[in-house]
Amino acid sequence: MADRKPIESWLTDMDGVLIHEGVPIPGADSFIKKLRESGRPFLVLTNNSIYTPRDLHARLRRLGLEVPIDNIWTSALATAKFLDDQRPGGSAYVIGEAGLTTALHDIGYILTDHDPDYVVLGETRTYSFEAMTKAVRLINAGARFICTNPDETGPSTEGPLPATGAVAALITKATGRQPYFAGKPNPLMMRTGLNTIGAHSESSAMIGDRMDTDVLAGIEAGMKTFLVLTGLTRPEQVENFPYRPSKVVDSIADIVDLV
């Protein structure tokens, strides 16, 4: 990596990097503070599509992390950007929460269950059999199938929860149609995020706690990658993957001095 340009912009995952089970990870506050003081472009990313950037800003502020709304990029925003590019002013049947419905409203999409252009599946804590049945029937009738992210489980204080990828698998089994995933590890989420802050991949870095989403997306987007060991990926698992991060560090605290 010696011939890479100096890092001018930073992208970082949220859960497992900055916070863990609702608690800030030591060094996260120093990292965010130094980024803001440096004036360097940065984004905090999450595959979770439940919350709007405003919601996440408030959540992080309560934890002592001051992240401006414009510096938060979610899979819901990446999905909306993709749909706006593909089919401006379209329509969608949505299974998800305010983070996703707000993002689609903001690009002028009509949310409907009558002959929609897309079925868009996101994260929710209230997946219903009725909604999934409607999604299956609309996809069978010709609606295109989009998902915010492929994560099969999500974290909670009680243990893993079924997430978007698991529900997508159910709908795929019922329809025979594979969805297009807009979130990590799709490098689309990184590239649209970089465009949002006017950054370039060759001078940007991605920090994450998962090899199969964060690091993979960063590599495929052409970025330098840092794996922190405060989340899901354990040190002994790194060698199991056919790709490697640029650097493995214990936590976000080890990256503060690189900003």
Catalytic residues: 13, 15
Cα–Cα distance, 246 to 258 (Å, whole number) = 14
Q: Give the rounded distance of the alpha carbon of 239 from its chain centre.
A: 24
- Quote the percentage of the chain above a pLDDT of 70: 98
Of the candidates 168, 180, 193, which has an alpha carbon nearest to the alpha carbon of residue 13? 193
CA 164 to chain centre: 12
| β-pair type (91-95, 118-121) | parallel
pLDDT score recorded for residue 3: 64
User: According to the model, what pLDDT value does residue 228 have?
Assistant: 98
Name residue, tokens 């938060």: 72
Identify which has the larger pLDDT, 184 or 160. Answer: 184
pTM: 0.94
Cβ–Cβ < 8 Å for 162, 153: yes
Per-residue pLDDT of 61-111, as tens digits, reads 999 999 999 999 999 999 999 999 999 999 999 999 999 999 999 999 999
Ordered alpha helix ranges (H), the chain: 28-38, 53-62, 75-86, 98-106, 129-140, 164-175, 187-196, 216-220
Structure tokens at 75: 């899979």
pLDDT in tens, 110-132: 999 999 999 999 999 889 999 99
| ∠ CA 25-27-32, rounded to 5° | 100
Number of other CB atoms surrounding residue 51 within 10 Å: 21
* CA dihedral over 14, 17, 20, 24, signed as positive or negative: negative
Confidence label for 249 from pLDDT (cuts 50, 70 and 90): very high
Cis ω on the peptide bond leading into residue 245 (within 30° of 0)?
no
